[in-house]
């Protein structure tokens, strides 16, 4: 099947699955929910509109589907797709935040779906555009073990295995952006930071007496994920994003 035909088929399948799961009575209701042009969506499905790479990715992003879903040849007729993270024999189910009934007491936490803090070498990106918000009762945050104020929280995602087993790949990360002063770090905690245009995540140990700072991965394979050492002056060159409060998915 050619790429365009595959996208049209998968779009039809995905909308049918969404209608069934979310209770939409028609494609028009689906489009109204996601602020889509129903006529344009009908054209895409029926082969009357252009359905290129950019259009497919933009549509996936707007609806909140995984990037590349419409190009997935294994996308099944029942609306399921094997998009769980599978690396090194470990299967991790993806987490999707869904908005429920909004309560006056709920707080809104910005989510950045496209931003991943590499636990290894790092990847270049930063907090820019909010993908969506998590509406949640502050009491639930306390049950989850989060101590900081909700307005200090941002949600990004992890990548790679260097913080394993503390943090699993693709785990949503609750980051406290109020804790980022390099002179007041909580020793031994995990921090997200940018350095040399890379967004990284490491456990940080500061030894003020010896002017030594250790950046370490929790993965016990130190040949693959060796400890890094810098001095206190170099620590001040790092731009801290915040401290990891919670990794939602653990192995």
Region 211-235 average pLDDT: 91
The ranges of the chain annotated as CATH 2.10.109.10 are: 107-247
Task: Return the structure tokens found at 28.
Answer: 């028009």
Q: What is the CATH number of domain 107-247?
A: 2.10.109.10
Residue 203 has pLDDT above 70, yes or no: yes
Residues composing the chain: 251
> What pLDDT is recorded for position 189?
96
Decide: helix, strand or coil at residue 87: strand
Residue 115 has pLDDT above 80, yes or no: no
Region 153-170 average pLDDT: 86
> Are the CB atoms for 33 and 24 separated by under 8 Å?
yes
Residue 122 has pLDDT above 80, yes or no: no
Helix or strand run (H / E) with residue 42: helix 38-46
Residue 111 has pLDDT above 80, yes or no: yes
* Reported confidence tier of residue 126, pLDDT bands at 50, 70, 90: low
Higher pLDDT residue, 208 or 176? 176
Angle value at C-alpha 75, between 72 and 76, nearest 5 degrees:
165
Least confident of 10-14, 17-21, 33-37, 220-224: 17-21
> What pLDDT is recorded for position 112?
86
Can you name the residues that pair with 246 across neighbouring β-strands? 174
Query: CB within 8 A of 217, min separation 6: which ones?
Result: 119, 120, 162, 163, 202, 203, 225, 227
- 43: Cα within 13 Å, side-chain hemisphere: 10
Least confident of 32-36, 99-103, 192-196: 99-103
- The pTM is what? 0.59
CA-based radius of gyration for the chain: 21
Find tokens 């602020």 and name the residue.
35
Phi, psi of 197 (to 5 degrees): 65, 25
Find tokens 């997200």 and name the residue.
192
């Amino acid at each position: 099947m050619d790429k365009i035909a595959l996208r049209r088929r998968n779009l039809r399948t995905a909308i049918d699955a969404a209608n069934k799961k979310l209770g939409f009575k028609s494609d028009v209701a689906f489009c109204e929910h996601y602020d889509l042009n129903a006529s344009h969506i009908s054209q895409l499905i029926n082969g009357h509109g252009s359905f290129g790479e950019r259009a497919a990715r933009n549509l996936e992003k707007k609806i909140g589907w995984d990037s590349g879903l419409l190009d997935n040849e294994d996308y099944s007729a029942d609306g399921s797709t094997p998009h769980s993270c599978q690396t090194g024999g470990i299967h991790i189910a993806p987490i999707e935040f869904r908005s429920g009934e909004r309560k006056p007491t709920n707080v809104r936490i910005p989510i950045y779906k496209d931003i991943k803090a590499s636990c290894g070498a790092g990847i270049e990106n930063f907090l820019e555009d909010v993908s969506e918000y998590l509406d949640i009762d502050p009491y639930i945050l306390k049950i989850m073990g989060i101590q900081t104020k909700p307005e200090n929280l941002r949600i990004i995602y992890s990548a790679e295995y260097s913080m394993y087993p503390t943090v699993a790949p693709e785990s949503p990360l609750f980051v406290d952006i109020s804790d980022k002063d390099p002179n007041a770090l909580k020793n031994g905690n995990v921090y997200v930071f940018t350095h040399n245009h890379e967004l990284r995540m490491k456990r940080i140990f500061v030894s003020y007496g010896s002017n030594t700072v250790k950046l370490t991965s929790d993965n016990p394979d130190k040949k693959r994920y060796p400890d890094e050492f810098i001095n206190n002056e170099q620590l001040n060159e790092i731009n801290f994003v915040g401290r990891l409060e919670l990794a939602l998915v653990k192995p």
